Amino acid sequence: MANITKKVSWSSRGDESGGGERTPLLNGSEEVRYTRQLSGDGGMFHIGRLSTVDLEEDMTSDEDAGCPKEIPHNEKLLSLKYESLDYDNSENQLFLEEERRMSFLGFKCLEISRWVICGLIGFLTGLIACCIDIAVENLAGVKYFVVKQNIEKFTEVGGLSISLILWAVLNAAFVMVGAIIVAFFEPGAAGSGIPQIKCYLNGVKIPRVVRLKTLVVKVCGVICSVAGGLAVGKEGPMIHSGAVVAAGVSQGRSTSLKKDFKIFEYFRRDTEKRDFVSAGAAAGVSAAFGAPVGGVLFSLEEGASFWNQMLTWRIFFASMISTFTLNFFLSIYNKKPGDLSSPGLINFGRFESDSVAYNLYEIPLFIVMGAAGGLLGALFNILNYWLTIFRIRYVHRPCLQVMEAMLVGAVTATVSFAMIYFSNDCQPLGPDQSEDYPLQLFCADGEYNSMATAFFNTPERSVRSLFHNPPGSYNPLTLSLFTLTYFFLACWTYGLTVSAGVFIPSLLIGAAWGRLFGILLASITPDGSIWADPGKYALIGAAAQLGGIVRMTLSLTVIMVEATGNVTYGLPIMLVLLTAKIVGDYFVEGLYDIHIKLQSVPFLHLEAPATSHWLTAREVMSAPVTCFNRIEKVGTIVDVLSNTSTNHNGFPVVVPVAASDDMGKVCGLILRSQLIVLLKHKVFVELARSRLTQRKLQLKDFRDAYPRFPPIQSIHVSQDERECMMDLTEFMNPTPYTVPQETSLPRVFKLFRALGLRHLVVVDSENRVVGLVTRKDLARYHLGKHGLEEMQLAQT
Amino acid sequence: MANITKKVSWSSRGDESGGGERTPLLNGSEEVRYTRQLSGDGGMFHIGRLSTVDLEEDMTSDEDAGCPKEIPHNEKLLSLKYESLDYDNSENQLFLEEERRMSFLGFKCLEISRWVICGLIGFLTGLIACCIDIAVENLAGVKYFVVKQNIEKFTEVGGLSISLILWAVLNAAFVMVGAIIVAFFEPGAAGSGIPQIKCYLNGVKIPRVVRLKTLVVKVCGVICSVAGGLAVGKEGPMIHSGAVVAAGVSQGRSTSLKKDFKIFEYFRRDTEKRDFVSAGAAAGVSAAFGAPVGGVLFSLEEGASFWNQMLTWRIFFASMISTFTLNFFLSIYNKKPGDLSSPGLINFGRFESDSVAYNLYEIPLFIVMGAAGGLLGALFNILNYWLTIFRIRYVHRPCLQVMEAMLVGAVTATVSFAMIYFSNDCQPLGPDQSEDYPLQLFCADGEYNSMATAFFNTPERSVRSLFHNPPGSYNPLTLSLFTLTYFFLACWTYGLTVSAGVFIPSLLIGAAWGRLFGILLASITPDGSIWADPGKYALIGAAAQLGGIVRMTLSLTVIMVEATGNVTYGLPIMLVLLTAKIVGDYFVEGLYDIHIKLQSVPFLHLEAPATSHWLTAREVMSAPVTCFNRIEKVGTIVDVLSNTSTNHNGFPVVVPVAASDDMGKVCGLILRSQLIVLLKHKVFVELARSRLTQRKLQLKDFRDAYPRFPPIQSIHVSQDERECMMDLTEFMNPTPYTVPQETSLPRVFKLFRALGLRHLVVVDSENRVVGLVTRKDLARYHLGKHGLEEMQLAQT
């Protein structure tokens, strides 16, 4: 098979599909003997392409998967290395037989197990959140205690530089541990994981994203990086953790641990697994922010295309259980069992709903803040984009990554220390002692350093102080300096090879400048009383900044509302997020989308680009297509699957038209994974005849192989077996969705997206295969500044 | 055409489709000359059927539409009188040309106008809610004031029967006005409107449901019935009102008022209109309960099949604006401008989140309450079902309906009076004076009659008292009697020919027995302190009862949580609603579903029945199908459209297979409404040749006719014109979705539902039309107690 690739021209298309290129066909070359038809315009050829195979689970690249050095640093490319998930059930005979055999009671049992799984997902996610919280609390507590002692010791006698060094070293040490496990053991656990989960829910199989190892590294990593004092939050990673828990629990086995509990076997396919992963992500959001409804909406916003009521209800159940579990265990940990007042990792604290929460004439001010948030968010994203490009080019070796992370940890400590040291914003220590580690430093007795509230604290606590500390707790200079430094620190930090989220730093930056805005407003208005509460502006600022960076809308509004526990702020928060999104989108995309684009993921947006009606399936599809006959020679199949230059994943099955030299009519669709299983079990016509007693292949065999189907190279097919025939009838999907060639792109897109398809067969009026539309074919088109743009496809 | 119907056998299928029956075909009968093919198994025949045409906008039945007497009282039937909505764009050449002409800026403008419309919808819905609230408040205020004066006058001197009569007469008078406008002017405005909106969002065109007249009658009707003291709420009708507002605003014209503002013309089609109606329904929920997120989820739960992020965000915007508008105007009305603390019509009041809101061991109790709610809800639904059957049989004349409503009004007053009269539950009048109309009656000075708090009040206030009055405000006997009487009153009231909702009465019943449960619990436990707050149990009971009756789940949880303003109760409310649904569903369906079924609406559920995998498109489809040629004779088209026995709405367009006697291959799909417009404008091939300068038919012509396309009878086609030809190429949808015959029902269902289809063409392997699947074909199958059941289709 190797020689075929040399004969044909290079093409960059059609990894997912059986589609080839559009160059003139190679008539009659002997290498294409395994395709059905050798001549004729538009005939079904298999055209090899000069490209490197990049099977997801390919053992050689396993260790590097997800490692930034593979990222082509050009957001105008779409990588072909990502496989898609099959959200459309392959309704082959085996499947239909199983479904038909199943009784009504059987379906009820399945439904009940789905609920049980969702409960488990919620419970475990809540538990993990609880562990992270307690671990961070204690580690950070010890760290701040030691440093505080040290600072207090040296404040009197001088030599605070020793304290600085102690702090920096402690930070760097924590960060080092966190960075090492991520960089060396599981690079997929880097960052917040939200982009990866977005991709997964969108239908792209990001390698190793829902593995147990990723979860372990993620959890340990986030504990280290938060305890290490980085400008990061532990909320984003919760979403990823929830998703991994869901993917694990729902399959009833762990491939990594080689343990199969023989339960939930029915759920071992992409469709079902995705549903549970949505629930897991929602449970993660719910545990992170105490926002079960926000979690559901997050999952829907990111993942759902087809609304399924029962699924949504289960997702909500998982979210509820998750926040309840976290709340319950935290209440026990805090020795107040039954006190269900901390539903999330971050708790904005109670915004007392005074009768006049805000006034109508404040809304324009909020909108201005939203615009400011959009601008600052865009700036953040652009800076981070450049930084990420830099990192991809120059900081791609694990040890360099670890060193960069340690550097950031030490610099964070140094900058914080300098800020605190040079600040002279002393505030009287209130009787309620809301500060956990009040630093007196050079303040008078009974006073504390206000800058230290912001810097010498976990970010969650700082956010809460900015929201709730009484007016006058911070002076404007402190806030401006804090905003400035924290902005750049957070920007530098995001994208480090540590496991950490960007939610909390964004909130913190926004809360700081929001509070500043409130203070300034109160000072320039004659009657300051109505602007009395800078905490309100801190909240709006936090929303604006977060919205400007991540550009989430509906779910973020609900998350913020749930986290504040006050519905009254719903409208302003929504307006602010909307403004931030509109303003920010004018300059640059959201942070997660930038990172998704930088990885060249073929991400399908919710709708086709508005101005794409002039494109039809004919222009969009990959053609010609590699097809198989209903009864196909094993050798042909092996050759097609082994062809490393194409790596197709779906193949239409055709029946020849009797008295005609024409192409065959489509009668089914079969997947690479199914063929692999068939080859592995040697389901050949000849063998079936000779060994009549042979066990019939069952759906179970496909499920056992899921999701890590072996590569074709690992399956040995002897020369004799190559001459055998394989009957695909029973295993192919006999009713693949098809569209005529004239179908417009938006129509194709809608069908594709609504049904979660992976392959869509394009047929002519005679029902003959003329092309295949895959995710990449659709993801290529997007709206740029100057109208519709087409992205290139790349093999890496 | 009339004689054809006599020749063929009766069939009850295929109103929506071009599908006919499966009886042996009529070969060669002259009446079928307009179909393409006269012989052959499975050929495309037009088979007339003995049925009465029932065009939605048919003038003869206009006044009666929606009138209960048309309801076939058998829930095993599906009526063919309902048309479906076209949620799948007909992407014909005209449409594509328009889309392709439109610039990127044009799409932006469209998007902006969508937002503006949603803002308007929210604003107007909020305004209507505000008007209703103020009107009810004042009318009920006057009524209770007068009655109270009267009672106080006669308490001393005796002769309270005069007070009773006064009260009863006042009630009956209000109710009479409300019932008369509904019964005589717009029967479609009866009830809460939620079943109708559910149907609309599901894709069924319920006659006259989104008309201006319906809105006016609905608003006036609900004011009268609430002021009339019926056991009803004003919340359900708000959802309907919001939907009508949306349908009106989005079209930029009022057909009733014959006023066309020439704006928003792009939105004059089912797809866009539905989106706005979802927003309107959400805005209604939002205004009713102050629950914007709940509103969004309600719309999604009831309407959405395909998740659209931008749409959801717009829906949320409309909801927010709606609750804000209501809040804002109410704050002005209450002379506290800027006080945004009453976001909805019903306000549960603030549940103070004590540190211990509920304990883990209370959850089983909540679940028991949920089960009780499910049981009571099922009882309510069964009683109401019988009552509705009775009403359909015997109370279908408008004057009878008015009299029944007046009777209920008077009985409500009498029962209430009796309960208050015989109650001896006197409570001390607190200093905070939370009662608006405290009735002293026979109580000592400084005390008030506790039964009167529940009965002598608008239901909203009663709910609030039950939630928040301090422990001891009610004695158990009062609560039991109240629950009992109100249960039967509410059950009798729902389904009266008045405009009113069932939410508040359900909440009230539940709150009463929930509070009773709490009191009993406190009395039997040794340490009563932890059960101290019966208000909590009132809340849970209210949720249980409401859930047991309406069986909404996700959205109802969120609505309840938002209305209480306390996220902590999320989990118990969810568990309670879930339990109530499971228990209730065991006995009978939800109240709305019962009423939908009683109207024989072909309602599509979210998923195909679980055990339907053995059915394929071949079994489900209607066949044979009436098809047209690309270029078809006008006479043929007119005959097909005029055939009152079939009343098909969609017709596949076929091209004949050249050298074969076979059926044609599908090349498009055209709708009745499109053909009507073509006939009206006489778009005939011959005319086009003779009058070359004639204006080309544009999309605008179709939009102008939308949605009240004239019936075929009103279009005059001369005998000469009958011989002309019509070229359908430009107007048909050239890329209808098709499926092979072997496709399983769940797969067909998924495609149908996800894309919001109205017609799905079933083809054979040669792409020839063999059948057509419509909403009715799919809605016929449902899961009964004994597995899959098939419903019959009826012409009425």
A594 to chain B, closest Cα gap in Å: 19
Which residue from A102, A359, A667 is facing B338, i.e. has the nearest CB? A359
Q: How far apart are CA A449 and CA A441, in angstroms?
A: 7
pLDDT at B538 over 70: yes
| Longest CA span, chain B | 101
B339 close to A (CB below 8 A): yes
Please give the DSSP secondary-structure letter assigned to residue B582.
H
CA A113 to chain centre: 26
Task: Single out the residue of B508, B595, B454 nearest to residue B235, CA to CA.
Answer: B508
Q: How far apart are CA B781 and CA B76, in angstroms?
A: 10
* Tokens 């879930």 found at: B578
Higher-pLDDT residue of B53, A530: A530
A residues 661-680 lying closer than 8 A (beta carbon) to B: 665, 667
A614 close to B (CB below 8 A): yes
Name which of A111-120, A625-634, A685-694, B724-733 the model is least confident about.
Answer: A685-694
Find the mean pLDDT for residues A342-346.
77
Chain A CB contacts of B768 under 8 Å are none
Query: What is the token pair recorded at B486?
Result: 């109100």
Find the mean pLDDT for residues B397-425.
89
CB contact under 8 A, A324 and B571: yes
Give tens-digit pLDDT for B615-660: 899 999 987 888 999 888 999 999 999 887 777 788 999 988 765 5
Nearest CA in chain A to B749: A755
Look at residue A217 in the predicted model and tell me its pLDDT: 94
Which residue from B735, B740, B750 is facing A747, i.e. has the nearest CB? B735
Chain A CB contacts of B737 under 8 Å are 739, 751
CB contact under 8 A, B355 and A341: yes
Q: Measured in Å, how far apart are chain A's first and last C-alpha atoms?
A: 22
* Tokens 């109207």 found at: B599
CB contact under 8 A, B610 and A107: yes
Chain B CB contacts of A787 under 8 Å are 104
pLDDT at B59 over 50: no
In b/e form, how buried is each residue of A720-748, taking b as 16+ CB within 10 angstroms?
A: ebeebbbbbeebbbbbbbbbbbbbbbbbb
Query: What is the token pair recorded at A606?
Result: 């919710």
CB contact under 8 A, B338 and A324: no
Chain B CB contacts of A340 under 8 Å are 356-358, 568
Q: What is the pTM of this model?
A: 0.87
pLDDT at A216 over 90: yes
Please give the DSSP secondary-structure letter assigned to residue A638.
H
Give tens-digit pLDDT for B76-98: 677 777 888 888 888 888 888 88
Query: What's chain B's average pLDDT?
Result: 81
pLDDT at B767 over 50: yes
Alpha helices in A303-349 (DSSP H): 309-333
Task: Single out the residue of A746, A604, A575, A749 nearest to residue A302, CA to CA.
Answer: A604
Which residue from A292, A324, A787 is facing B104, i.e. has the nearest CB? A787
A161 close to B (CB below 8 A): no
Name the phi and psi angles at B432, rounded to 5: -80, -10
Show the CA angle centred on residue A117, arms to residues A116 and A120, nearest 5°: 90
Residue from B123, B330, B336, B554 whose CB has the most chain A CBs within 10 Å, to mutate: B554
Strands (E), B635-728: 650-655, 665-671, 725-727
A668: β partners: A653
Alpha helices in B423-531 (DSSP H): 450-455, 459-468, 476-493, 503-524
Q: How far apart are CA B48 and CA B63, in angstroms?
A: 28
pLDDT at A577 over 90: yes
Find the mean pLDDT for residues A256-262.
79
B residues 76-95 lying closer than 8 A (beta carbon) to A: 89, 91
pLDDT > 70 fraction of chain A, expressed in percent and rounded = 85
CB contact under 8 A, B104 and A340: no
Give tens-digit pLDDT for B668-718: 999 998 999 988 888 888 776 665 545 677 888 888 888 888 888 888 888
Chain B CB contacts of A574 under 8 Å are 316-317, 320
In b/e form, how buried is each residue of B241-278, taking b as 16+ CB within 10 angstroms?
A: bbbbbbbbbbbbbeeeeeeeeeebbbbbbbebbbbbbb
Please give the DSSP secondary-structure letter assigned to residue A112.
H
Give tens-digit pLDDT for A713-723: 888 888 888 88
Look at residue A20 in the predicted model and tell me its pLDDT: 41
Task: Single out the residue of B276, B187, B285, B278 nearest to residue B236, CA to CA.
Answer: B285
Residue from A98, A285, A306, A559 whose CB has the most chain B CBs within 10 Å, to mutate: A306
CB contact under 8 A, B738 and A734: no
Name which of A645-659, B33-47, B139-153 the model is least confident about.
Answer: B33-47
B611 close to A (CB below 8 A): yes
| Per-position DSSP letters for A385-398, written without gaps between them | HHHHHHHHHH--SH
Cis before residue A707, ω within 30 degrees of 0?
A: yes
pLDDT > 90 fraction of chain A, expressed in percent and rounded = 32
A340 to chain B, closest Cα gap in Å: 7
Look at residue B748 in the predicted model and tell me its pLDDT: 92
A290 to chain B, closest Cα gap in Å: 9
CB contact under 8 A, B613 and A100: yes
Which residue from B89, B306, B339 is facing A754, i.e. has the nearest CB? B306
Tally of CA atoms within 13 A in the half-sphere of A349 that contains its CB = 17
Look at residue B532 in the predicted model and tell me its pLDDT: 62
CB contact under 8 A, B744 and A338: no
Strands (E), A197-333: 204-205, 253-254, 259-260
A residues 704-743 lying closer than 8 A (beta carbon) to B: 734-735, 737-740, 742-743
CB B3 within 8 A of CB B645: no
Show the CA angle centred on residue B469, arms to residues B465 and B471, nearest 5°: 140
A255 to chain B, closest Cα gap in Å: 30
A489 close to B (CB below 8 A): no
Which residue from B300, B323, B738 is facing A307, i.e. has the nearest CB? B300
Look at residue B14 in the predicted model and tell me its pLDDT: 40
Q: Quick one: chain A helix, strand, coil %, rounded to 5?
A: 55, 10, 35
The length of chain A in residues reads: 796
In b/e form, how buried is each residue of B655-687, taking b as 16+ CB within 10 angstroms?
A: eeeeeeeebbbbbbbbbbbbbbbbbbbbbbeee
- Between A and B, how many CB-CB pairs are < 8 A? 209
CB contact under 8 A, A360 and B755: no
CB contact under 8 A, A96 and B744: yes
pLDDT at A405 over 90: yes
pLDDT at B586 over 80: yes
Chain A CB contacts of B603 under 8 Å are none
B655 close to A (CB below 8 A): yes
Query: What is the token pair recorded at B14?
Result: 């295929």
B464 torsion bin: left (phi>0), alpha (psi -120 to 50), beta (else)? alpha
pLDDT at B313 over 70: yes
CB A592 within 8 A of CB A198: yes
Chain A CB contacts of B765 under 8 Å are 655, 665, 667, 767
CA A391 to chain centre: 20
Which residue from A328, A735, A742 is facing B360, i.e. has the nearest CB? A328
Name the phi and psi angles at B131, rounded to 5: -60, -45
Which residue from A312, A553, A665 is facing B765, i.e. has the nearest CB? A665
B745 close to A (CB below 8 A): no
Domain spans in chain B, listed from the N-terminal domain onward: 354-398+420-598
Which residue from B99, B355, B787 is facing A339, i.e. has the nearest CB? B355
Q: Measured in Å, how far apart are chain B's first and last C-alpha atoms?
A: 22
What is the dotted CATH code of the domain comprising A354-398+420-598? Answer: 1.10.3080.10
Chain A CB contacts of B554 under 8 Å are 296, 309, 312-313, 316
Chain A CB contacts of B89 under 8 Å are 747
Give tens-digit pLDDT for A452-490: 777 887 888 888 888 888 777 788 888 899 999 999 999
What stretch of H or E contains B782?
Answer: strand B781-784
A529 close to B (CB below 8 A): no
A474 to chain B, closest Cα gap in Å: 29
Query: What's chain A's average pLDDT?
Result: 81
